[in-house]
Structure 1
Amino acid sequence: MTIDNSSAEQNRLARLLTFLGHDPTNLALLADALALAIDLGDVIHGQQLIDHMKTQAIEEPNICALAAHVSLQAGQYAEAGAFGDKAIEGGIKHPAVIFNTAQGHFYSGDYATAHTLLSRLSHEAQSPTSLLVMHARALHQLEETEEAEALVARALLQDPANIEIRGLLALLQYENDNYSPALITAHETLAQNPDQLDALIACASVHFHQHNITASRNAWLHTIAVHPECGRAWSGLARLEFNELEFDAAEEHLKTAVKFMPDHIGTWHLLAWIYILRGDSIQARRALDCSYALDRNFGETHGGLAIVDILEGMTERAQKGIRRALKLKPDGLSARYAEALLLQQAGHPEKAAQVIDQVLDRTRPDSSDTGRVLMENWLQTHQNKIPDRHPDQH
């Protein structure tokens, strides 16, 4: 007669819970119960044990380390990070505990803490690919893309057939302005998996940067078809449409983008610019207010709000906004545009033109060309293009 081991272990876990009811601060019993819940993947009893810890105010480091693992299994990522922090602060140095804690912080969006923890592990030559990739993604979120690319390259050496790692490498190559290698890596990835998200983003982005609008549009459309909740894909498509003066489509797709990534300031700014160009100050202010709520010290947001103030006739308020914007970002485009608008309104078109000329003669941060060269190239490409006419425009 065979015994169902799983059933026997479940019965044992139930007995441990009963014993804990009679001896609630018995750490050995609690540790055994947590470890067994982890082995069984028993989320329900695991949560009961977490609740028991809280009720009894138990914060012993080894118990907290086990609780972090239980919380991860339950998808309670912030709690996993908090329990893991207590374990590490209490002297636990085991790599698995550090990794579990880093996972908790990573999946709850605390990429800086995840990076700090993973840095203690990723320097090891034999670090597993899962650790290297998670660290790379945390660094990517922190815009430390060169270090992230180096980690992904290490991971790919360990697992050269891994499509997800190769796709992430393509994206990071793009982020680091290595456009030709990024496109090659993306195509290699997509040849094996046409739906790999990172490679699709890299492919669409490189094509857009290289002014291959049709290929970029096709890549973005495929991306949103297979990854409809990817905010970056909706935003990328909208940026292309904005560039092509397809403002109605860009507006709708930006609205979708901010549903999936409401904390991306640049997407709110692009949406605001559509409304500014239409003269819709109410909607522009709403978009910029969302950006302001994310970061009160972002110069371009203050510059954009100054433009909206000008549209609404609040000149003095606009002047204050321009000063704030330029203090935060001396070369801010929106603040300089607001300055030019004020000069134009004050009857100084020549001075307004000088301000715009100063902006255009600067080398753009993402290009070796000046703004003037980029604008002239764009005008040459789009000389016969007519922007969408909005119902409010005449």
Structure 2
Amino acid sequence: MDDAAGASARYERLKDYLSADSDNLRLIAEAADAAWLAGEPAEATALIERHAAVAPPPPSLINLLGLCALADDRFADAASIFSSLLADRPADPGLRFNLAWARSRLNDHAGVLEALAQATENSQAAALQVRSLHHLGRLEEALVVGDAWEGRSDDPDLWSALATAALDHEDLERAARWAGRADTTAEGQAAIGMLAMAEGRSAQAREHFEQALALRSDLARGHLGMGAVLLSGDMPTDAARRFDQAAETFGDHLGSWIAAGWAWLIAGDAEMARERFERVIALDDTFSEAHGGLALLDFQEGRPDDARRRAEIALRLDRHSLGGTLVSSLLLEQAGKAEAAAAIVQRALTAPIGPGGQSIAEVLATRAAMGRIAP
């Protein structure tokens, strides 16, 4: 009999005993433990509450209550339970890790780091710490954690988190080294794919993104990378949909929305492109390439004054703004010419300027896709 079947059988026996001795606290505690081991967290919770109605549960049962809350995705309850237990056992690494995990699911990343201040001596805790540092934009600190773990662990989850942080910090040497230790994970494969894209190896990048998505179909970084690959393969509509999927998953990663905007623009859907650029500005109106994208759309639609104003904003925010520079050049080019603005835009978008013959739009979209992302 396997462990789960044995726990289920034991739980059934204990329930029978409890039917004859319903207030027996020892039986209630044993039944709660058996229910947990049998994969029945809701029933374990009900038994612990039954114990509490008779007498306060011991710390072991309160800890089990916290584990049940985690299993049931009641992360706020779990965080409260583990916090209360830490009052008496502040140095307990298991409690600190469980509290950190609950807080991470609540997107309380400062709280994660507080909980893990004394609990990073195992790789799972270190991976959680790295991801929270990443979310908070403290990438250099995340890399310091990685350096400290060199030679101490072969946990692919830790190295995938570190590879992603290194990639977003534009430390390609560390990213490549750490991603190589995480190639069994979706996140690791996506990191390897991004590194291949940065080197212009689109075919190899696509293979890695496909492997990443085969391991985890909802991986936003996988869809983001596939979008860049498809765009470089002259499939802008498919690329735009991939960028959209990544952007919807990330939510507030501006680079994903920018990449989607440029891809839709290349695909010839001005309305979809404008919607994405405007979404970026609604999230952060200091993002220069969103203004640059809108400037290009204004130019394409025959509104040179609006285009000039947008381009000036983009260049004021970032004097290296490709979108702003492009529109400024197009305005000069169009002066005194009868050529339609839309034709000028399409020619400019497809002119090769980057490595491997990338067009300016591909460079813009790929640059946006490779920008810093919270995990």
For the Cα contact (< 8 Å) 1:102–1:115, is it kept in 2?
A: yes
| Secondary structure class of the residue paired with 2:129 | helix
> Against the structure 1 CA distance between its residues 331 and 115, is the aligned structure 2 distance closer, same or farther, given a 3 Å change threshold?
farther
> Against the structure 1 CA distance between its residues 323 and 108, is the aligned structure 2 distance closer, same or farther, given a 3 Å change threshold?
farther
Q: How far did residue 344 of structure 1 move?
A: 4.7
In structure 2, what residue type is equivalent to 1:139?
Answer: L
Select which of 96, 116, 131 maps to 1:98: 96
Indicate the residue corresponding to 2:70 in structure 1.
Answer: 72
Indicate the residue corresponding to 2:213 in structure 1.
Answer: 224
Indicate the residue corresponding to 2:138 in structure 1.
Answer: 144
In structure 2, what residue type is equivalent to 1:231?
Answer: A
In structure 1, what residue type is equivalent to 2:95?
Answer: V
How far, CA to CA, are the matches of 1:149 and 1:186 in structure 2? 13
Query: Structure 2-normalised TM-score?
Result: 0.67
| Secondary structure class of the residue paired with 2:151 | helix
In structure 1, what residue type is equivalent to 2:135?
Answer: Q
Residue by residue over 1:191-248, the C-alpha shift from the partner in whole angstroms, topping out at 9 and shown as x without a partner, is xx4xx32331232222222222332233223333443322211211212333454423
For the Cα contact (< 8 Å) 2:140–2:169, is it kept in 1?
A: yes
Q: Percent identity at matched positions?
A: 17
In structure 1, what residue type is equivalent to 2:172?
Answer: Y
In structure 2, what residue type is equivalent to 1:216?
Answer: A
How far, CA to CA, are the matches of 2:301 and 2:18 in structure 1? 67
Q: How far did residue 254 of structure 1 move?
A: 2.2
| Secondary structure class of the residue paired with 1:119 | helix
1:146-161 alignment runs, 5 A limit = 146-155=140-149, 157-160=151-154
In structure 1, what residue type is equivalent to 2:138?
Answer: E
For the Cα contact (< 8 Å) 1:105–1:114, is it kept in 2?
A: yes
Q: Does 1:333 align with 2:321?
A: yes
Indicate the residue corresponding to 1:128 in structure 2.
Answer: 122
| Structure 1 gap ranges (5+) | 21-25, 350-374, 388-394
In structure 1, what residue type is equivalent to 2:186?
Answer: L
In structure 2, what residue type is equivalent to 1:99?
Answer: F
1:253-332 alignment runs, 5 A limit = 253-258=242-247, 260-278=249-267, 280-292=269-281, 295-300=283-288, 303=291, 306-307=294-295, 308=297, 329-331=317-319
In structure 2, what residue type is equivalent to 1:197?
Answer: A
| Secondary structure class of the residue paired with 1:157 | coil
Higher relative contact order (CA closer than 8 Å, sequence separation 6+): 2
For the Cα contact (< 8 Å) 2:175–2:191, is it kept in 1?
A: yes
- Report the aligned-residue RMSD: 4.9
Indicate the residue corresponding to 2:370 in structure 1.
Answer: none
| Secondary structure class of the residue paired with 1:215 | helix
How far, CA to CA, are the matches of 1:208 and 1:101 in structure 2? 38
1:323-362 alignment runs, 5 A limit = 329-331=317-319, 333=321, 336-337=324-325, 340=328, 344=332, 347=335
Indicate the residue corresponding to 1:213 in structure 2.
Answer: 202
In structure 2, what residue type is equivalent to 1:107?
Answer: R
Q: How far did residue 269 of structure 1 move?
A: 0.9
In structure 2, what residue type is equivalent to 1:110?
Answer: D
For the Cα contact (< 8 Å) 2:311–2:328, is it kept in 1?
A: no
Indicate the residue corresponding to 2:172 in structure 1.
Answer: 179
How far, CA to CA, are the matches of 1:85 and 1:335 in structure 2? 49
Indicate the residue corresponding to 1:81 in structure 2.
Answer: 79
For the Cα contact (< 8 Å) 2:76–2:102, is it kept in 1?
A: yes
Residue by residue over 1:238-278, the C-alpha shift from the partner in whole angstroms, topping out at 9 and shown as x without a partner, is 12333454423322332443454444321111111123345
Q: How far did residue 81 of structure 1 move?
A: 2.8
In structure 2, what residue type is equivalent to 1:95?
Answer: P
Select which of 357, 360, 363 maps to 1:382: 357
How far, CA to CA, are the matches of 1:40 and 1:383 in structure 2? 56
| Structure 2 gap ranges (5+) | 1-6, 338-351, 363-375
Query: Structure 1-normalised TM-score?
Result: 0.64
In structure 1, what residue type is equivalent to 2:100?
Answer: A
> Against the structure 1 CA distance between its residues 292 and 77, is the aligned structure 2 distance closer, same or farther, given a 3 Å change threshold?
farther
